[in-house]
Chains A and B, each alone.
Chain A
Amino acid sequence: MLWRAMRVIGTCALLATLDAGGGVSAQDAAHPTIPDTLQQRIAACTACHGAHGEGTPESGFFPRLAGKPAGYLARQLKDFQDGLRKYAPMEYMTRQLSPAYMHEIAEYFAAQEVPYGRSPLPRLSAEVLRRGETLVTRGDVSRQIPPCVACHGGQLTGVQPDIPGLVGLPYDYISSQLGSWRTKTRATVAPDCMAEIANRLSDSDISAVSGWLASRELPADMHAQAAGSVTPPLHCGVLGNKEGGA
């Protein structure tokens, strides 16, 4: 417990060094001047996710938001609001937001251009990494696991407007998301394709996929692919009727 508390305090110290403010320098003024910008309005978001949505790549605890497709980000806000994605601080934060405001916030972070940082990697054997590469690029037909590239794009940088990229993310973040689909702390509108796929993966598959993705060299262009450039092999609720196959 004490160790945990110290870790939290450690994180605080790290966060304290991040500039979360919106360029306010009115420390000494009795009456601060507050810029009328979206960035200032969403100080509640940027305090943890960073002024430009850079997240905390060193720990993976606060995910990066910068450059993720706007439809995807808006969907996450809505899923927190509806309690489909479970994380009490985010559920509380989104409770009273309107769809229009959530979309505006999503657009803000989607438009941010921030260099990608590297995150610590666990030690994984070459064999595990090969299994990861196979799952990501070819899938596993015997267990009905489609390859990640089928939806997330050939370069794994995501597809506009609803599919996030998978490269440039920390190992801890990817593996904990795959785990949260299995424990039902992350869900979305039905049919929830990712929950289905995550449940077809074994524990070692999750390590393999997360490890291979997190260790991947980043492509020069990290932007999401154009809308409609993939044909997903599953019908997914989050993609509405815009895309989706069998």
Chain B
Amino acid sequence: MKRALWLVAVILLALAGWWVLRDGTRAPVAPSASRVSAATLKDPALIAKGEYLTQAGDCASCHTVQGGQRYAGGRVLPTPFGNITAPNITPDRATGLGEWSFEDFWQALHSGKGRHGELLYPVFSYTSFTKVTRDDVLAIFAYLQSLAPVRQAPVAPGLSFPYSVRSSLKAWRALYFQEGEYQPDPSRTAEWNRGAYLVQGLGHCNECHASRDSLGGSQSKPALAGGQIPAQNWYAPDLSTQAHGGLAGWTAQDIVDLLKTGRSARGTAFGPMAEVVARSTQHLHDDDLRAIAAYLQSLPARAPAVADSSPLDTRPILAQGAKVYAERCADCHGKDGNGVAGVYPPLNGNSSVNEPSGINAVRVVLLGGFAPVTAGNPRPYSMPPFAQQLSDGDVAAVVTYIRQSWSNQASLVQERDVIKYRHTPID
């Protein structure tokens, strides 16, 4: 009798496991069976709106490989769980979205499921895109369907076990994914709500500007509090403009300037954000940029950072850093670290200098680079790469110096951190 009970329990457990982990299946909706007519998708006004929104979502950034055709996919997105290659989203019938209906597309963006109901990997940011309205998703779909089809075959994800089992995403989704369109907050202004919608939805800002846990889930509480981007190894700063926020003291205009031109009185976009500005935010209308700024300015103040209690005597490091700074940096960024308005960013109070990890300053010193080319800054100034000129010790010293000079009070950076980032892949 007891054995029979055990058997029943085991069978029930197995059934429950199968039910939880089974792959979802769904028959695709043929374009001819779609509730959206072919004529609707050809509406030039809808397509134009879709183009704007597709840029706002920066879809091209992931769905275009270096040197490849726009939206034809192929860019390899590294994650701690393996590489995933972004698919082709041009309307090619064999390799892209040519056979997709609006219903299929909506399900991908809103529910994170593929055409046949398979669970999509969240490197595709449906955790954010689920907030996008049906009308906006329709416009994006109309725009993508209006592109010239490009034949470029998809590449299967290169994930290691157990992440290679799609149904393992069930558990992940239960923890981190909340499906649902953005719900406006009636106590806020229309501008604030528009900003929140763009930032939380299409802009998918929280996908980078938040820390991720060991399962790759992004911390949404508090939202936009900053975090290191896995595999890419840049630090996306906290976006609060209030006390102790990463953007403390930034005005709405500073935010608009950075998103529109790539530079502002407070800092210049570089690394992945340079790409976001160049491909996406510079194309946003001024009222949308102002809405984003209004929303970011409403993010709450943060707790003060815990003071660095390193037992190291930092005086020799700071002296060495001061020397390197005077020789290499002061000509452009100024002895006072305040930069040159409209030309070189200030380092004093710069969110990317003071972010918790120090990784951004180290990598910018090593790599140098141009500010993004935008309509508002078509011939940007640039910073020389110092990888060939400075030793790891010098880089650590000068970065520590700028992180602890003027009003800056960030933690020190050590030589061993610099070695690590010399070998970080650039893409």
Contact = CB atoms under 8 A, between A and B. Distances in A.
Contact of B378 (A24, A47, A91, A101): A101
A82 B66 contact: yes
A44 B426 contact: no
Interface string B389-427: 111000000000000000000000000000000000111
A47 B389 contact: yes
Contact of A32 (B275, B340, B384): B340
B380 A92 contact: no
B391 A12 contact: yes
A88 B425 contact: yes
Given A28-B335, A97-B373, A16 B381 contact: no
Contacts of A42: 382
Interface in B261-284: 274-275, 278
Given A24-B331, A27-B326, A44 B370 contact: yes
B21 interface: no
Contact of A43 (B67, B378, B384, B425): B384
B336 interface: yes
A9 B387 contact: no
B122 interface: no
Given A11-B388, A31-B334, A92 B369 contact: yes
Given A21-B331, A30-B336, A84-B67, A9 B391 contact: yes
A157 interface: no
Given A43-B381, A43-B384, A97-B373, A12 B426 contact: no
Interface string B362-378: 00000111101100001
A83 B67 contact: yes
A212 B65 CA distance: 40
A95 to B, nearest CB: 7
Contacts of B340: 31-34
Given A81-B67, A82-B66, A88-B425, A32 B334 contact: yes
Contact of A83 (B66, B331, B373): B66
B378 A96 contact: no
Interface string B325-340: 0100011101110101
A100 interface: yes
A9 B370 CA distance: 25
B383 interface: yes
B69 to A, nearest CB: 11
Contacts of A38: 379
B157 interface: no
Interface in A38-96: 38, 40-48, 81-84, 88-89, 91-93, 95-96
Chain B interface mostly helix, strand, loop or mixed?
A: loop
A98 B370 CA distance: 11
A43 B379 contact: no
A26 interface: yes
B389 A16 contact: yes
B385 interface: yes
A98 B343 contact: no
Contact of B369 (A30, A41, A44): A44
B235 interface: no
A9 B385 CA distance: 14
Contact of A100 (B367, B370, B378, B389): B378
B344 interface: yes
A196 interface: no
A104 interface: yes
A20 interface: yes
B259 to A, nearest CB: 15
A206 B373 CA distance: 39
Interface string A1-30: 000010011011001100011001011111
A44 B382 contact: yes
Nearest to A83: B66
A28 B331 CA distance: 8
A241 to B, nearest CB: 21
B391 A45 contact: no
Contact of B426 (A26, A30, A81, A92): A92
Contact of A98 (B344, B369, B373, B385): B373
Nearest to B335: A30
B382 A45 contact: yes
Interface of B: 66-67, 274-275, 278, 326, 330-332, 334-336, 338, 340, 343-344, 367-370, 372-373, 378-391, 425-427
Interface of A: 5, 8-9, 11-12, 15-16, 20-21, 24, 26-34, 38, 40-48, 81-84, 88-89, 91-93, 95-98, 100-101, 104
28 contacts: A27-B330, A27-B331, A31-B336, A31-B338, A32-B330, A32-B331, A33-B340, A34-B343, A43-B381, A44-B368, A44-B382, A44-B383, A47-B368, A47-B386, A81-B67, A88-B427, A89-B367, A91-B426, A92-B367, A92-B426, A93-B369, A93-B385, A95-B274, A96-B372, A96-B373, A98-B378, A100-B378, A101-B379
